[in-house]
Amino acid sequence: MPGYELWSDKERKEVNDVLETGILMRYGFDGPRKGIWKSKELETAICETFGCQYAQLTSSGTSALTTAMSALGIGYGDEVITPSFTFVASFEAVLSVGAIPVLVDIDDTLTLSPEAVLKAITPKTKAVMPVHMCGSMADMDALITICKEHNLILLEDACQSIGGSYKGKSLGTIGDAGTFSFDFVKTMTCAEGGVVMTNREDVYIKSDGYTDHGHDHKGADRGADLHPFIGYNYRISELHAAVGLAQIKRLTEFLSLQKKNHGLLKDMLAKIPEISFRRVPDPAGDSCSFISWFLPTAELTKAVVAEMKAQGILPGNFYWFDNNWHYIRKWDHLKNSITLNALHPEVKAQVMQQANKDFAASDAVMSRCISTSISLLWTEEQIQEKGEKMVNAVRKVLAEQSVSL
Ligand SMILES: *Cc1c(COP(=O)(O)O)cnc(C)c1O
């Protein structure tokens, strides 16, 4: 999954270019920077690599989501439909612009269930935000149709699916806007960083200003810039962008390793008839950062997790159902709407109401799901050994459970 595994001289060289001039900021200092513009170069490379018209780098994937929402005009009074299975950053960003996260069920794609989205639409719904979890995609055709019919914004949280695609288009470039995270554990990293991608000029211009205190970036003199609206500082630094620039040039290499390792391990797991796999709406577009697999029941899944733990082979396997960060079940801070700054009482009540709904349909999927993250460093022998151990652990549990029936 993560680009940090293959840290190399290429990253060191790009960072060193910046260290040589000492100009660590992405804007201004035109003379002393001696033609080194890592952030601009990375934005151009993102547009070329993923096929979008505009890219605005940010300090993180979370700030990219916040920026995209602001640029799309999402705020007070608006509801944003988003899945019950995602990283906490997705709802954090919705809250940061004053809107209400309307969490809805996922299906066997591990992403937004289009039927659940339809049921959740109200006159206040402003946007649908699918999250392409664990390297693979939401059913985009269904979501695009819903958004068109109901005149809703489509914002893709593609933070976990860099390099994935849907019917030939890169994930994150299909909706009104999309975001990647370049944090340390993502498919390519800047250490910390993110990007807003869009084909809408208005969204790009607003994102550009918003991430830099509202600067309009029209003149050569930063100090003389006007501020047509209030912004924040969500800038990336040149040092971070330099790391990303080296990584994006290696992305094809990362993805091909990921696909190869994913294929080898998946073939081994597929030999067990009781195991099924996540539904992938466009299998050719899976970035293959994880294999997400199901057992027939929650009990069997819990027993397999326990067995893998006992055998010391659990690391790298995620049982999201019991995980604190990625699934609604453990988001007590959201369910109780615990914030450090007071929310408007109406917003607070709605946040709590949404987070405390019934998610039985999601539970039925997530309680049977294990995701195995794919390392870029594995040798074929290691994959063989890992696969055999996993298969044996599953077979052992299946045998024990059928005996006990
Ligand atoms: C990582 C991630 C983010 C946030 O990215 P950061 O760069 O860590 O702020 C947002 N959404 C999802 C689904 C993520 O996995």
- Give the closest residue (by CA) to ligand 1 atom 6: 61
The per-residue pLDDT for 149 is 98
Structure tokens given for 304:
């397999």
- Give the closest residue (by CA) to ligand 1 atom 5: 61
Share of the chain above pLDDT 70, in %: 99
**Beta-sheet pairing, 153-157 with 165-166:** unpaired
Distance of CA 89 from the midpoint of ligand 1 (Å): 6
The per-residue pLDDT for 405 is 53
Residue 371: is its pLDDT beyond 70?
yes
The per-residue pLDDT for 3 is 87
d(C-alpha 58, C-alpha 180), whole Å: 10
pLDDT, tens only, 121-161: 999 999 999 999 999 999 999 999 999 999 999 999 999 99
- Strand, helix or coil for residue 286: coil
Distance of CA 81 from the midpoint of ligand 1 (Å): 17
At residue 404 the predicted structure's pLDDT band, cuts being 50, 70 and 90, is low
Distance of CA 61 from the midpoint of ligand 1 (Å): 5
Query: Cβ(278)–Cβ(136) under 8 Å?
Result: yes
- What is the atom index within ligand 1 of the atom nearest the CA of 93? 10
d(C-alpha 376, C-alpha 27), whole Å: 34
Torsion of CA 288, 133, 189, 263, to 10 degrees: -10
Q: In what order do the strands lie in the sheet with 79-83?
A: 54-58, 194-198, 177-181, 153-157, 125-128, 79-83, 100-104
Query: Other CB atoms closer than 10 Å to residue 29's CB: what's the count?
Result: 16
**Beta-sheet pairing, 169-170 with 165-166:** antiparallel
Residue range 3-251, CATH number: 3.40.640.10
Residue 272: is its pLDDT beyond 70?
yes
Residues lining ligand 1, Cβ inside 6 A: 60-62, 86-87, 89-90, 131, 157, 159-160, 181, 183, 194
- Evaluate whether the domain defined by 255-404 bears CATH number 3.90.1150.10: yes
Please state the domain extents for the chain. 3-251, 255-404
